[in-house]
Structure 1
Amino acid sequence: MASPQLQQAIDVIRALVSKVGSIEEMRALNEKMALPPEPDVKKEPVVANGVRAEWIAAPGAAADRVVLYLHGGGYVMGSLNTHRDFMGRISRAAQARVLGLDYRLAPEHPFPAAVDDSVAGYRFLLEQGLRPARIAIAGDSAGGALTLAILIAGRDAGLAMPAAAVCLSPMIDLEFLGESMKTRKDVDPIFTPDAIGLLGTAYLAGANPRTPLASPLYADPKGFPPLLIQVGDHEVLLDDSKRLAQRARAAGVQVKLEVWPEMIHRFQTFAGFLPEGQQAVEGIGKFILEQIP
């Protein structure tokens, strides 16, 4: 049974979402909901190959264990500010430094701007002398898709693969063909099929929705590092994660798929007040430590 905090969060989210119309309003709401990081978490601004970024480190973070993090927000919103608390929790759980990227957003910067910035961030880490075997890549929602896009583009460019990748409620099919778009539409408090379709349209700006770097579900996952996929059972994107796991396993990739009962889209990022979110964070940290001892 889910915690009481989950229903409280759902009630607040539904009330706020009902008042939002434009992208500008969505961005403002997202920033308003941002939680401050825990007091002992340190942050340091940096420019990663032209992309604004930030090093986040909790006490005990190993200098040579790094998580490259891509925030969610449907490609049109989200920032370092909205995810700073979450990245600090990842740093603590994984005992790793986290490099958060402030990639360019649509519709001002449509596909492939976010992919280009994300790959630039991974190249930045390699250029800093960090070994790929000591790097994990992670992201939620659109950031989960960008995590996979880095693997696809990096592999095709001959870059060494990181040690692990973590996808949280990844938004990886911009045609939105998963059956859960229908079966979960009445229980998802964040997305409706129409609303999520508008985000995809803003990002694609006319590009083919089956382009693998935009919709990684349609990419060949051969050669990917071990994947952790976490998703809530009450979100319309549930089947994106299930289909990703199936395709990756068929390609010989080590996959750990976790479907969390009653949880909503990117519930992990609510770890500051949602017990299940913090439990998921601890699981993410354990997975990363298993891959990067």
Structure 2
Amino acid sequence: MPLPLDPLVEKIIPLLPLRDPATMTPQSARDSLRALADARAAVPPPPVDTARDIEVQGATGPLKARLYRNGSTTAPTVIFFHGGGWVAGDLETHDRQARNLVIETGAVVISVDYRRPPETRFPGAFEDAFAAVSDVIARIAEFGGDLSRVGLAGDSAGGNLAATTALACRDAGIRLAAQLLVYPVTDVVGNYADRDENAKYPSRAENAEGYFLSRAVMEWFAGHYLSDKAQAFDWRVSPLRAKSLAGVAPAVVTTAWFDPLRDEGAAYAKALAAAGVPVTYHPGEGLIHGYFGLGDASETARTEAQRARADFKVLLDRGV
């Protein structure tokens, strides 16, 4: 039997944003996520030696980014993409996640602020993500990294961007050491509104509401990211629909048990393994979507996130 919902997480759920798609707007979604981050301002963030704003090249111009690192010796390099349903989230909302990656993997972490919908719809975010990775790799010495130890990481919609960009890197002949996909979006076909598509993933019904991220909010996010529902069949939106996953970077995939995205994340881990890709999968029992940001409040969340980052570190250190 899976673990029950962590009681500390259960107490937090009523305080979390992004729960009412009927009244949510892109700006309100962005404001509420930023307000959640600002509410923790009195709690010192995990300390790192360097955290400075930089720019990386996106698909159509420079993108805001932030470089984090400890020390000055050559280290693995991780390009990180924040979550927020493609619509919300930014460098500030995911600052602590980036810092924990530095501390627990020893990597240089570059967090990228890609263009968001509805101002820029698909494929803008994907194209920015791939362009940013290409730019970081071209400048790897500037960041103190080496080409044999480059990884991608992201949570939720950022996990989607990490997964799809990893596939694009494979196709472009760019070798990555690892990818960390944290409760990723992997199959958007049907935009979370189609009964038959939703039936393929029981978690969409089991966790449709009541656990922070709802199925209806995912429908709202997908509707803003895509200008046409048919785009969801594109592997750059739904990596689970890619013709082949063979040869993509070794992966650590995490899901949350009480999350509508649980089953599509688990299906992606299974598909990667079936394609011969080394995969470590963490089911996130007792946890909800977003638990990587709840480590200060829940020991269960903190421990599970640390386990995933430890597995990611092993892959980064091994290199290609």
CA drift at 1:133: 2.2
Residue of structure 2 in register with 1:199 after alignment:
221
Q: CA deviation at 1:238?
A: 0.6
- Compute the displacement of 1:289 (Å): 2.3
Q: 2:63 aligns with which of 28, 33, 51?
A: 51
What amino acid maps onto 1:125 in structure 2? V
Alignment of 1:10-29 (within 5 A): 10-13=13-16, 17-18=19-20, 21-29=24-32
Equivalent position SS for 1:195: helix
Aligned to 1:173: 187
Deviation for aligned residue 1:18 = 4.7
1:62–1:97 CA contact under 8 A, matched in 2: no
Instruction: Please tell me the residue identity of whatever aligns with 1:40.
Output: P
Aligned partners of 2:149 and 2:316 also within 8 Å = yes
AA in 1 matched with 2:12: A
**1:239 deviation in Å?**
0.7
Alignment map for 1:242-253 (pairs within 5 Å): 242-253=266-277
TM-score normalised by structure 1 residue count: 0.91
Written as runs of structure 1 = structure 2, the 5 A alignment for 1:137-286 is 137-158=152-173, 160-175=174-189, 176=192, 177=197, 178-191=201-214, 193-206=215-228, 207-219=230-242, 220-286=244-310
- Superposed counterparts of 1:16-165, under 5 Å: 17-18=19-20, 21-34=24-37, 35-36=40-41, 38=45, 40-41=47-48, 42-49=50-57, 50-57=62-69, 59=70, 63-129=74-140, 130-158=145-173, 160-165=174-179
What is the CA–CA distance in structure 2 between the aligned matches of 1:183 and 1:169, rounded to whole Å? Answer: 16
Structure 2 SS opposite 1:232 = coil
Residues in 1 aligned to 2:24 and 2:72: alpha-carbon distance in whole angstroms: 40
> What is the CA-CA distance between 1:116 and the residue it aligns to?
1.0
Report the Cα offset of residue 62 of structure 1: 5.3
8 Å Cα contact 2:6-2:287 kept in structure 1: no
Compute the RMSD of aligned alpha carbons: 2.0
Q: Is the 8 A contact 1:93 1:284 kept in 2?
A: no
Q: TM-score, normalised by structure 2?
A: 0.84
Give structure 1 regions of 4+ aligned residues with deviation exceeding 6 angstroms.
none
Question: Residue 17 of structure 1 aligns to which amino acid in structure 2?
Answer: R
Contact 1:167–1:230 (Cα < 8 Å) also in 2: yes
Structure 2 residues not aligned, in runs of 5+: none
- The aligned amino acid for 1:53 is A
The answer as to whether partners of 1:86 and 1:271 remain within 8 angstroms in 2 is no
